[in-house]
Amino acid sequence: MNSRADTGQPQTVTGDTPIVEIRNVIKDFGGVRATDNLSLAITPGELHCMIGPNGAGKSTFFKLLMGTIRPSSGTIHFNGEDITRLAPFARARRGLGIKFQNMQVYQELTVFQNFFVPMRRHHKPAEMPELVDRILRRIHLTGLEDETVKNLSHGQQQWLSIGMSIALEPKVLLLDEPAAGMGPEETASTAEIIKALNAEGMTIIVIEHDMEFIRSLNSRTSVLHLGALFAQGSYEDIERNEDVHKIYLGKA
């Protein structure tokens, strides 16, 4: 895990070649500049946290990575390959998995059926029950495989959405506010789920507002502000950074 305190500077390659790298990416929505010349690199195996005030451009960063929106300028690399022009499904096939900010589960299907779609690409139906059981255990949904998803609690649906992304067996997992709307206990469990996945080698980028949650992940953290990288460093560095506190209070 990288904990260099190079606050303020766009991250350049340290050691390993980055698995995800965006260079000078600008994204304009009409008059709004959602990301402003953003450059960022993620090393393989890293657990990377991303924070920033509302509208800072965090979700836009994920959508650019996944390809649901295209940058106005700049490039996006995955595993050394330029994927700037690839469609989302092609990026998914290369190993990018995502849970978007809004909940994305198939409401009218059962929990088990929800896993069918992400798993079908890599596994035979006969293998699925065991694999699903294994994932359900990780995300605390054991025994609920035949429940219709719309009957699950909000937190359970968030976990299911994470579980579906895991089922894809991605190289890099993008989680946009995985603990949104959860109580303290569920939030803590979510942090444990993420740490366990990362410990097994999955590269993970997490966007969150909940600082308690970011603290428990205790990993390299980037701060976005007005579409640009405002600060970067270990969790303690960020916590100690006065300027970061200011932007959250709206003074910077």
Partner 1 sequence: MKRSGIFGILGLLNGPQTMGRGWVFWIGFVVFVVLAYLGPTHLGLKPYKINEFLISGFLAASLSILWGYCGILSLGQVAFFGIGGYVWGVIGINLWDSTGNTHLAFLGGILAPTAFAAIVGAAMFLARLKGVYIAILMLVLSLLLETFMLQTADPEVYSIGKAVLGGSNGLRPASDIPNAAFGWGESVVDFNGRRAEFYYFALTLLILTYLGLRMLLNSSFGYLLVAVREDPDRTETFGYDVRLIQLAVFCIAAAIAGLAGSLDTARINRVDPEVFGVSANIMVVIWVAVGGRKDLTAAILGAISLEWLFLWLTTSGNPEYATIVMGAILVGVMLIAPEGIFVFIGERLRVLFGKSGLFSVERKDSVI
Residues of the shown chain interacting with partner 1 in the complex, contacts defined by CB under 8 A: 66, 68, 87-89, 92-93, 97-98, 100, 104-110, 112-113, 116-118, 120-121, 125-126, 128-129, 145-146, 164-165, 168
- What tokens does 11 get? 């991250």
Residue 59 within binding range of Mg ion, rule CB under 5 A: yes
Work out whether strand 203-207 and strand 172-176 pair parallel, antiparallel, or are unpaired.
parallel
Name the residue nearer to Mg ion (CB basis): 51 or 136. 51
Minimum CB distance to Mg ion, residue 227 (Å): 12
- Strand order, beta sheet including 47-51: 96-99, 172-176, 203-207, 47-51, 220-225, 228-233
Q: Of these partners, partner 1, Mg ion, ligand ATP, none, which one is at the site of residue 98 (CB under 5 to 8 Å by kind)?
A: partner 1
The angle that helices 111-120 and 154-167 make with each other, rounded to 10 degrees, is 20
Q: Which residues in the 25-64 window bind ligand ATP by CB under 6 A?
A: 29, 32, 34, 52, 54-60
Residue 101 within binding range of ligand ATP, rule CB under 6 A: yes
Max CA pair span of the chain: 57
Minimum CB distance to ligand ATP, residue 211 (Å): 13
Residue 158 within binding range of ligand ATP, rule CB under 6 A: no
- What tokens does 117 get? 């779609």
Residue 101 within binding range of Mg ion, rule CB under 5 A: yes
Q: CA 40 to CA 20: how far, in whole Å? A: 8
